[in-house]
Structures are given as C-alpha cells and as structure tokens.
Structure 1
Amino acid sequence: MGCGNSHSILEPKGRKIIMMGAIGSGKTSILYQLTKKMQVPAIPTVGHNAEYLQINKEKFVLYDVGARNNDFNQIQHLLESAIALVFMIDASNSNVQVFRESIDLFHQCVKCPYFQGIPVAICLNKQDMAENIYIDEDVIMKNYPLDQIQGGNYKIFKMSYKNKTGIDEPFDWIQGQKLKPSNVKKAPRSPKRGQGNQYGFPLSTEQPQSNGSKALPETQDI
C-alpha cells in the first residue's frame, strides 16, 4: 500500500474511513504511522484526529475517533458518509472492563445507521506481544456481534504498530471492496480554539506535527 503525505487544507474533501476502538487500542499510533511515518505519545485522543491517506493512488481521509466519543448523536457529523469502518482492538489487554467496553462500542458501531452496508476491518493490534495475546480470532468470533454486521462484509486482521507489520493490510482490503459513494459536503466554518463546536464536545488540541506540516482541523467535516 502506498501511503502519501498529509496536506493542510482548510476544507478537506474525500471519502471517509472511520477508525474506532477502546482507549489504548492504538488508533492514533496507526493513523500517524500510516500518514506521516511518525511515532506519537500514547495519550488518549480527545475529540478526533484526521489525516489524508493515499491507498494505491486513491486518496481517502482517515478519522481517528476518540473512545470517549461514545454518544453517536454528538459525533454524527464525523460518521455520516463513511465508506468503511476500521475497529481497533488491543489483543494484549486482559482487562475485563476494557474488553467489555470494546464489545459495547462495537455493538454501537454495527447498529449505527451510518455504518450500514460498509466494509468493516477488525484489527487485532499489538501482536508484537506474542506471549501476552489474550484476544485472538476465536475470542472475537465468540464475543463480538459479527452476525449483526449488515451484509456480513468484514475481515479480521492481525497487526503490530510497534513492529510495523500488517498495518497496511486492512486498508488495502478496504480499497479493494465495492465502496459506496460518499456525499461530500462543504465543511462548516471552524470555531476558535477552546470554544467547542455545534455538536457539543471540545476540540482536540493535541494533534502531532511533523516537518512543518499541519494536521487537518478536528472540526472539519467532509
């Protein structure tokens, strides 16, 4: 997969791939490794991050949506017109509460009207910790409501951000699916930093920067 550099554009337009998962699953690390070839601190995302992602000469916008945004009514502007969902899971985390939160979030995703009929890539991250893998494909099949995915178009992947193995495969698979058209809309004017936005949650101010390039503003819609 070819991953292009991100660009600073005030009104981003493109097909949206939404990446979700429980806190600590590695969403932000994957986002910036794919789009900027950079490592970022392991800090939970507040709000969301978005970057351009080029997959085999096709350009998409990859959204990393923080796990705290569990009220889908407040983030519908991010989810609408999504053409694929990437659901990230920390396969090395044995915490029962985190496991249940992940299942609950996945259940919300498969019930969300914006995610109906789109490809779903389920990613078992942190495979580098082979001696501590608690969540494998069998656990996913037994505990996650895969049968509720409309159309049944999903695939389970193994990856490791640390070793940079398998991180391209879910996105290559998505790019090869029959993707629905995205209704691209002009982004609303962004509020000033610290003011929040019309959807009721604060803006993230923690987006990493690299080589002078700017990350996409969190409040931009596509």
Structure 2
Amino acid sequence: MGILFAKLWNMFSGEEHKVLILGLDNAGKTTILYQLTMREVVHTTPTIGSNVEELKWKNMKFVMWDLAGQDSLRPSWTCYYSGTQFIVLVVDCMDRDRVPLVKEELYKILAHEDLRKANLLVFANKQDLKGAMSASELSSLLNLTSIKTHRWQIQACSALTGEGLFKGLEWMANHVTR
C-alpha cells in the first residue's frame, strides 16, 4: 500500500527528479540528452561544463544534467552530486580500450557519499554499430552484478536511432523515490 501511495504522490506532486548523465568523452551523453528531450539527433561539439534539460515523462519531471566527460573536467562532477536520484552512465560500446577507465570512474561515483541513494542506469550505447559490445558483455566487464549498494539496470541503446533510450527512461520512472 505504501509503494502505491508513493507512486501516486509522485505522479501528481510535480516533484523534480535530478538525473546526472555521466561518462567518458565521446560516449554519446549529449546526443542521448537531446534524443530524449527533443526526440531528434542534434549535432554537437564536445561539452565543456554541462547541458541541462527538463524532461516530462508519465507525469514526472526529470531535470537532466549532461556533464562533460573529458579527463580534465571529470573532477568537477562532484559539484553536481547533491540531490541526485539517478546516475545515467553512458558507455561507448565501440571503445573497448577504455572500459577499464569507465569501470574505475563508475566505482568512484558509486562510492561518493552524496550518491549513496542514487539509482544507476547504464546505457550500453552505439549498439547500431557493427562490433559493439553487447550489454551483457559490458555488464560483465564492469562487474555490475557486484553492485549491492545501488539499484541498477543496464540497457542496450543507440543515441542516434533512439532505440533503447525510452526503455531506460521507463526503468527510471518505475524506480522514482521520494
């Protein structure tokens, strides 16, 4: 009964849910942000700082922060952590060489005190390209099954075609907490 009440409350309260879109440079974070909010591909340049957009989905409001992924800018991510309900980690599934770095960054993120209650959605991006790692291969390489401190989901997707993005958004909508 409590879960039902919480979901109904979220549907009608107009409450905002903070989402951080993180990942290494060139993973597709900004393309995903605009595919979700505008439902179209927007040609972008590398993000310096952040992009923020509001997305209304199923009577919920998500404030989505797309943060720059360059090595020199990743330390600034912590400035955005407070109040985050969802971490969306975008991974370029064509870039096998940097998966160990993605894994290192992921576990740093999850260890941060301000994110201890955040849910994790991993977008296994670039599935439209031949030779891309599958979501299950990426899950294994990131050792996602070892994560016991956060609710998590991995979703295969393509930022360019939009395939899989709304399934990830649906997962987020089903895991909104107050």
TM-score (norm 1): 0.66
Which stretch of the first structure deviates more once superposed, 57-66 or 74-83? Answer: 74-83
Greater RCO between the two (CA within 8 Å, min separation 6)? 1
The corresponding residue for 1:150 is: 149
Higher helix share: 2
Displacement of 1:44 in angstroms is 1.9
Q: Does 1:70 align with 2:74?
A: yes
User: Deviations along 1:16-75, whole A, 9 cap, x unmatched?
Assistant: 11110111111100101111233222422111110001111211101101113321xx44
Partner of 1:123: 123
Shift of 1:93: 2.1
Code of the residue aligned with 2:43 in structure 1: it is P
Whether the 8 Å contact between 1:107 and 1:145 is mirrored in structure 2 is no
For these two proteins, the number of residue pairs brought into alignment is: 162
- Structure 2, unaligned stretches of length 5 or more? 1-14
Determine helix, strand or coil for the equivalent of 2:27: coil
Q: Using the alignment, how far apart are the partners of 1:79 and 1:138 within structure 2?
A: 28
Change (3 A) 1:101 1:135: farther
Work out which of the residue numbers 148, 161, 168 in structure 2 matches 1:170: 168
Deviation, structure 1 residue 135: 5.0
Pairing of 1:127-142 with structure 2 (within 5 A): 127-129=127-129, 131-134=130-133, 136-142=135-141
**Shift in alpha-carbon separation, 1:176–1:143, aligned structure 2, 3 A:** closer
Question: Is the 1:19–1:62 contact (alpha carbons within 8 Å) kept by the matching residues of 2?
Answer: yes
Contact 1:92/1:135 (8 A) holds in 2:
no
Q: How does 1:9-24 map to 2 (within 5 A)?
A: 14-24=16-26
1:81 CA displacement: 0.1
Contact 1:16 1:82 in 2 (8 A): yes
Q: Partners of 1:139 and 1:166 in 2: how far apart?
A: 15
Residue identity matched to 1:169: K
Kindly indicate whether the alpha-carbon contact (under 8 Å) linking 1:91 and 1:134 is maintained by their aligned counterparts in 2.
yes
Aligned-residue sequence identity (percent) comes to: 20
Provide the secondary structure at the position in 1 that maps to 2:74: coil
Given the two structures, how large is their TM-score scaled by the length of structure 2? 0.81
**Residue identity in the other structure for 1:122:** V
- The yes-or-no answer on 1:114 pairing with 2:114 is yes
* C-alpha separation in 2, matches of 1:146 and 1:22: 21
Provide the secondary structure at the position in 2 that maps to 1:162. coil
* Max Rg structure: 1
Per-residue deviation, 1:150: 1.1
Cα deviation per residue 1:163-191 (whole Å; 9 max; x = unaligned)?
22111111111111142x3xxxxxxxxxx
Q: Point out where structure 1 has 5 or more consecutive residues left out of the alignment.
A: 1-12, 182-222
Of residues 83, 86, 99 in structure 2, which corresponds to 1:84? 86
For the aligned residues, what is the CA RMSD? Answer: 2.0
Moved over 4 A (4+): none
Amino acid at match of 2:140: M
Q: For residues 91-112 of structure 1, what are the alpha-carbon distances to aligned partners after superposition, in whole Å with 9 as ceiling and x for unaligned? A: 1223x1x222211211211111
Residue 174 to residue 136, structure 1, CA distance change in 2 (3 Å): closer
Match for 1:70: what amino acid?
R
Larger relative strand fraction: 2
- Whole-angstrom distance in 2 between the partners of 1:139 and 1:15: 27
